[in-house]
Amino acid sequence: MSRIDRRGIAERSRRLSYETAQQGRVSLRTRIDRLRGGSWAIAQTALGAGLAWTLASAVLGQDEPVFAPIAAVIALGVTFGQRGRRAVELIGGVVVGIAIADGIVVLLGAGPLQVALVVALAMSAALLIGGGGLLVTEAGVSATLITILHTPGADSLSGERVLEAMLGGSVAVVINYVFFPLNPELVVGRAAQRVFSALGGTLEQVAAALAGGDSERAEDALTRARAIDGDMDSFREAMATGQETARLAPPRRRSLGHLELYAESAPQLDLAVRNTRVLARAVSRFAQDGEPGPAELVQAVRELSEAVWALAGQLEEPDRDYPTRELALRAAARATGLLEERGDLTISVVVGQVRSVAVDLLRASGLDRVAAMRAVEEASRPEPVSR
């Protein structure tokens, strides 16, 4: 092997070692950031478990309470950033599992066959009462714990164990909704901003693809538009969590009015996402010929993007004026004006989708359907020619 080859191999080895070290540092920072982000939830859950154990020992007289801290951990782990109904399902599953398993093991004792039997019965009972997946799973888990922890010859303690589980759940609810309720406006606002960021960025990319007649960029924009559905799902989940927290947590009740603005805009925002996807598909077809789109149409799509950013600010700061409606109407009028110059089918489809997105954004800003469509029609009328 020549000296040059050895130098090349050594250089590649050093570069590989450097890149590996860099990736390791990035990975470590990511893990640390993840730990910091979840530290508050971990602290709350740990506090709830300890408090539930203490209360079960003091109030119920249990020497070694098991289900109170378990129920608190389960409930807090779910209610932190998720819907309370799921926490109720989890506690319901614990109760169902305890009630069935405790009776079975008193009669039949404990063993592998008994474990299989009580799990099957507990999960079946949870399904019969209409429980969701979480309730059914927790019923099976609780039944398993009861069977494993059963002491031969012991009397039934299902009533006390049910009280333990309910006490643990109550501790979780108090911690989650009274002492340390999450900020619903912050949770909803962050989820909404992710949707606005994705939607506004997609429209910008659609405009760029249209301006350059770039079919590849248009396809990328279409892919990006399809991905916004996941952000919308997260937004709806955040809305449900935020509204529930604002209703149940006295310190957060004043947030209900602001959250209502987001709730009213959410269906129209969803329509804007869908129509943007159709717009991206239409631009993708147009760009297949490699011909740049009309400058006025490109500008109209860019104004839609600006309207999205304005709507984001309007919902976050409802006391300030944002030009959401002006931008949306200007985009619709600018696009409609092209129909007199170019009446080909592809351009007509793109213009139609620009108008549809404009209507969606107007409705998300607070106009009803009739008023939004009337506003678009009026803005799109040609200026009368003076004589």
- Going from the C-alpha of 81 to that of each of 158, 238, 332, the distances in angstroms are 31, 8, 39
What mean pLDDT is predicted for residues 265-290?
93
Whether residue 170 sits in one domain with residue 284: no
Distance of CA 297 to the CA centre of its chain: 33
Instruction: Please check whether residues 245 and 354 belong to one and the same domain.
Output: yes
Token pair, residue 161, equals 């164990």
Query: Do 107 and 129 share a domain, yes or no?
Result: yes
Nearest-10 crossing angle of helices 345-364, 295-316: 10
Mean pLDDT of the 136-144 span: 75
At 330, list the tokens.
Answer: 């200007």
Same domain? 149 vs 284: no
pLDDT of residue 103: 73
- 259 is a domain residue: yes
134 and 281 belong to one structural domain? no
In a domain, 55, yes or no: yes
Would you say residue 185 has pLDDT above 60?
A: yes
15, part of any domain: no
Minimum mean pLDDT range among 49-63, 128-142, 232-246: 128-142
In a domain, 311, yes or no: yes
- Higher-confidence residue of 35 and 26: namely 35
Residues 52 and 141 in one domain: yes
Decide if pLDDT at 23 tops 70.
no
DSSP per residue over 303-332, as a string? Answer: HHHHHHHHHHHHHH-TTS---HHHHHHHHH
Tell me: do 188 and 161 sit in the same domain: no
Residue 325 near residue 365, CB atoms below 8 Å: yes
Q: Which domain holds residue 112?
A: 37-179
CA angle 224, 260, 321 (to 5 degrees): 75
Q: Pick the residue with more confidence: 92 or 8? A: 92
Separation CA 248–CA 240 (nearest Å): 12
Do 149 and 289 lie in a common domain?
no
pLDDT in tens, 331-342: 999 999 888 776
How far apart are the C-alpha atoms of 284 and 18, rounded to whole Å?
42
Mean pLDDT value across residues 212-232: 92
Residue 243 maps to a domain:
yes
Looking at 179, 196, 227, which one is the last position of a domain?
179
Q: Answer yes or no: is 2 within a domain.
A: no
Do 165 and 191 fall within a single domain?
Answer: no
The encoded tokens of residue 333 equal 């009028």
Question: Does residue 168 fall inside a structural domain?
Answer: yes
The fraction of the chain above a pLDDT of 70, given in percent, is: 78
Whole-model pTM: value is 0.70
Residue 8 lies in a domain: no
Residues 175 and 321 occupy one common structural domain: no
Res 18 pLDDT > 60: no
User: Where is the domain boundary, 131, 159, 179?
Assistant: 179
Work out how many domains the chain is built from and give that number: 2
16-20, 89-93, 319-323: least confidently modelled range: 16-20
**What's the distance, Cα to Cα, between the start and end of the chain in Å?**
90
Q: Which of 179, 201, 223 is the last residue of a domain?
A: 179
Tell me what the mean pLDDT of segment 114-139 comes to.
Answer: 76
Q: Write the CATH number for 322.
A: 1.20.58.220
* Region at 249 (left for phi over 0; alpha for psi -120 to 50; beta for the rest): beta
Higher pLDDT, 369 or 143: 369
